[in-house]
Amino acid sequence: MAGRNISVSETSRPKLPRHAKLKFDETRQVWVILAPERVLAPDEIAVEVLQLCDGVRSVAEMADMLAAKYAAPRKAIATDVVAMLQDLADKGFLTEARENTA
Amino acid sequence: MSDTLAGTKTATAGPTDGLAVLEQTRSAAETYGIPLAVLLEITHRCPLQCPYCSNPVELDRGSTELTTEEWKKVLGELAQLGVLQIHFSGGEPTARKDIVELVQHATDVGLYSNLITSAVLLTRDKLAALADAGLSHVQISFQGNEPVVADRVAGLKDAHRKKLEVAKWTRELELPLTVNAVMHRQNLHQLSDIIQMAIDLDADRLEVANVQYYGWALKNRAALMPTIEQIEETSRIVEEAQARLKGTLAIDYVVPDYYALRPKKCMGGWGRQFFNISPAGKVLPCHAAESITGLEFESVRSNHSIAWIWQNSEAFNRYRGTGWMPEPCKTCEFREADFGGCRCQAFALTGDAGNTDPACTLSPLHDEIFKQAMRESEGRESRFLYRNFAGGTLETGDRQDERQDKRNGA
C-alpha cells in the first residue's frame, strides 16, 4: 500500500499516481484528470498546483513558488494547497514518491 | 462480463466532480454534449459463462466482429469526437489476438484505456505487452473470494486461481487495478472476504456491483436476486469499509435497483455521456439496448460517422433528455436526476421502453415487480442458466465442464 492513504503536509512530495493523467482536453478546452471510471475537471488553481506535483518538489517549495508568483501571504497559500491536495489524496488521485512513504 | 458502465456509476459529488463541471460548460440546448467514455465490446467470445453476463442473450458470433483496421478507425473517430476514455470489454477482450495492437492505437490517438477482463486468458508476457502499449488501467472481475463459489459462478474450473495470479502480475507491472465483484444472493455472504481480498491484492479500487437484471441476469433472476436482509447487511459492510479504507481502497457501490426508492440514472441518461459499440459495430446507447425491439441501431460499417450517429440517429434521440417522458416522470421533480431510470429495464419488465422504469416506487408497476423479486429471493431456485452461444445451458448436478467448454467460442 506504499504511496497511498497519504497525509499531506509541507514536507510531502506528491505526484499523480499512474492511473491519474492530467491532460488539456482540446475538444472541450478544459484541463481534465483522467482516472478509472472518472473524469475530473480541476479549476485553474488546482491545475497550477498539480503541474508542480512531480514527486520531487515538496509542498513547502510549491507554497514558496506560488506565494512569490502571486505576491500573496505564504501561510494562507500553504493551508489552501495542503487542503486541496489532501482532498485529492483522499479520493485516490494523489500519491507520494515511494521513498517517502516507509 | 462486467457491469462496469451499466449505469449507476457513483460519480463523486461536489465541486471537483468532472461530469458536473463539464456539463456546466455546455449550453442548455446541448443537453447531451460530447461523450466522455465509450465501452467497446470488441468480442462476445468468452471462456467464462457467468449467469449474469451483461452481453445480450443473442450474442454476436466471432465471424461478425469488426476487423483490426475497422476498430482502429473507430478509435481514431472517437478521439476526434472528444471521447476521453475507452473501455476495452467483451466478452473477453483478450480473446482478440489484436488486443495489444488496439491498445497501442488507443494510446497513439490520445485515449485513456481501461481493460475490463476476466483475466483467465492473460499471460504475464501479454499483460506486460499491454502495459508497454500504454494501457492505463486493468479491471478484473471476481465471482467470489475462493474457488468453490467463484468457479461455479464463472462456469470455469481454475478460473479464480488464475485471476488471483493475473491480479498479482498487474500490480507487479505497476498497473492500477480495480477488482470488480459482481454480487448476488449466492455470493453476498463473501462480501467482507472479497473486500479483504481486494486489499490483499493491493487493488486501487473495488467495485461492489449488484447484478443488474436484464438479458442473461433476468433469465437467472430467481437464482440471483438477493434478499432484503442481505442488501441491508451489504450496505452496512460497504459503508463501514468505505470509511475504514478511505484513501487506500476506493469502493464504488452499485445498489440493486429493485430495492431502491428511485431508479438509477442509467448510463448518466440515455445518450448523454456514454455509448457502446458492439462486436459487430453497432453504435448503442447502452450495452443492453439491442434487447429493445423496434429500435434500429446504426453501424460503424454504415456511411455515417460515429459523430453523426451520436448526434442524429433515431435510436439516440428517441429517449434523450426529458421530452419523451410519460407520467409520472413528465412532471416529476427528479426527472433530470435519474432521467426516468433504465430504458432496457422498462422494456424488459413492462414491454415498453418508453415507460417509467419499474424500479422507481412512483411506477404503477413497482409494487408488483418488487414483490415478485422478494418472492424469488426467498425461493428455492439456485441453479444457473449459464451464458453461451447455444442460448444458455442449465446447471446440472454433474456438470461436464469439458463438454460445456466447447460452446464458449463462436
- Tell me the DSSP string of B164-201: HHHHHHHHHTT--EEEEEEE-TTTGGGHHHHHHHHHHT
Here the ipTM equals 0.78
CA B12: distance to chain centroid? Answer: 19
What is residue B31's predicted lDDT score, i.e. its pLDDT? 54
> Quick check: B400 pLDDT over 60?
no
pLDDT tier, B402 (very low <50, low <70, confident <90, very high otherwise): very low
Q: Read off the pLDDT of each residue in B211-232 and give the average, rounded to a whole number.
A: 92
Determine whether the interchain pair B82/A91 forms a contact, defined as Cβ–Cβ distance below 8 Å.
Answer: no
What is residue B267's predicted lDDT score, i.e. its pLDDT? 86
Instruction: State what percent of residues in chain A have pLDDT above 90.
Output: 53
Q: Each residue of B52-111: pLDDT tens digit?
A: 999 999 999 999 999 999 999 999 999 999 999 999 999 999 999 999 999 999 999 999
Q: Read off the pLDDT of each residue in B226-240 and give the average, rounded to a whole number.
A: 94
Q: Read off the pLDDT of each residue in B109-134 and give the average, rounded to a whole number.
A: 97
pLDDT tier, B374 (very low <50, low <70, confident <90, very high otherwise): confident
Chain B environment of A87 (Cβ under 8 Å): 16
| Cβ(B114)–Cβ(B136) below 8 Å | yes
Q: Each residue of B135-183: pLDDT tens digit?
A: 999 999 999 999 999 999 999 999 999 999 999 999 999 899 999 999 9
Chain B nearest C-alpha distance from A46 (Å): 10
Interhelix angle for B147-154 vs B159-172, to 10°?
A: 100
Q: Give the residue, A4 or B119, on which the prediction is more confident.
A: B119
What is residue B309's predicted lDDT score, i.e. its pLDDT? 95
Question: In A, what residues contact B, Cβ < 8 A?
Answer: 1, 4-6, 17-19, 21, 23, 25, 27-28, 30, 32-34, 36-43, 46, 87-92
Total-model pTM = 0.86
Q: Which of B18-27, B125-134, B366-375 has the least mean pLDDT? A: B18-27
Instruction: State what percent of residues in chain B have pLDDT above 70.
Output: 89
Chain A nearest C-alpha distance from B399 (Å): 37
What is residue B248's predicted lDDT score, i.e. its pLDDT? 82
What is residue B398's predicted lDDT score, i.e. its pLDDT? 55
Average pLDDT, chain B: 88
The set of residues, in sequence order, having a beta carbon less than 8 Å from that of A49 and lying 6+ positions away, is A62, A66, A81, A84, A85
- Buried b or exposed e, range B228-266, using 16+ CB within 10 angstroms: eebbebbeebbeebbeebebbbbbbbbbbbbbbebbbbb
